[in-house]
Amino acid sequence: MSSGEDSGERNPFAPPPPGAPDQPWSPRVPQPPASGGRPDGPPDGERPQPPQWGPRPEPGPQGPRLDLSDPAHRAARNALLSGFAALLTALFSLFWISFPLALLAVWYAVTVLRAPAEPVSDPFAPRPVRPQVPAALSALLTGGLALVMSLGAFALQFAYHDYLDCVNSAITKEGVHSCGNDVPTWVTTLYEGPAE
């Protein structure tokens, strides 16, 4: 039975020869043969390489992100938060809180949208979308909607003040229904619910 020493190749799993110095452990990396590759194997250029460790780049282009060190980006973030808070409080009929939040969101959004864009070297090249513009537009939409709801509620309370006082001071259902004799039906439906 022949061993690997007869063919000139050393068995990598064989123990080291007696008297050999100790060597530190190192991972095995396949080495290309000196003769240019085996005839039955892949060419040297197509030999699989060991995996490279480290963070992999995410596929696709990265979208623009808000940079909180930039005052315009901070204003866009504040506008977005104020707009959503104003709309949420308006949906819960907290109009005294929603109104100033909506004003703040609209003011921040208009400030961001009026900020001049950065100059470009090529005037014919398409300008990239500034990352604070979508946030400012969303804040303008939510803040404007909350502002309209708050102003509508204040206008109703001012126009039908006597009716609302009558509804709040009424004790029975009949007393509540008697308050709405001189107001439109949609107002009584809004404050009293649909008629049974």
Residue-wise DSSP of 117-179 = PPP-S-TTSPPPPPTHHHHHHHHHHHHHHHHHHHHHHHHHHHHTHHHHHHHHH--SHHHHHHG
- Contact at 8 Å (CB) between 102 and 144? yes
Q: What percent of the chain has pLDDT over 70?
A: 65
pLDDT of residue 133: 86
Q: What percent of the chain has pLDDT over 90?
A: 26
Over range 49-54, report the average pLDDT.
Answer: 59
Over range 175-184, report the average pLDDT.
Answer: 75
∠177-187-102 over CA atoms, to 5°?
A: 135
Residue 136 has pLDDT above 80, yes or no: yes
Give per-residue burial for 96-131: e unless 16+ CB within 10 Å, then b. ebbbebbbbbbbbbebbbebeeeeeeeeeeeeeebb
∠130-147-168 over CA atoms, to 5°?
A: 160
Tell me the backbone φ, ψ of residue 117, rounded to 5 degrees: -75, 160
pLDDT per residue as tens digits for the range 80-127: 999 999 999 999 989 999 999 999 999 999 998 887 777 667 667 666
To the nearest whole number, what is the mean pLDDT of the chain? 76
**Residue 18 identity:** P
Higher per-residue pLDDT: 155 or 26:
155
What is the domain partition of the chain in residue ranges?
68-115+130-158, 160-196
Residue 183 has pLDDT above 60, yes or no: yes
Cα separations in angstroms, 8 against 2, 4, 11, 18, 83: 11, 7, 10, 18, 79
| Joined tokens for residue 83 | 């707009």
- Contact at 8 Å (CB) between 38 and 9? no
Stretch among 3-12, 71-80, 132-141 having the lowest mean pLDDT:
3-12
pLDDT of residue 170: 77
Residue 59 has pLDDT above 70, yes or no: no
pLDDT of residue 103: 95
pLDDT of residue 94: 92
Residue 4 has pLDDT above 50, yes or no: no
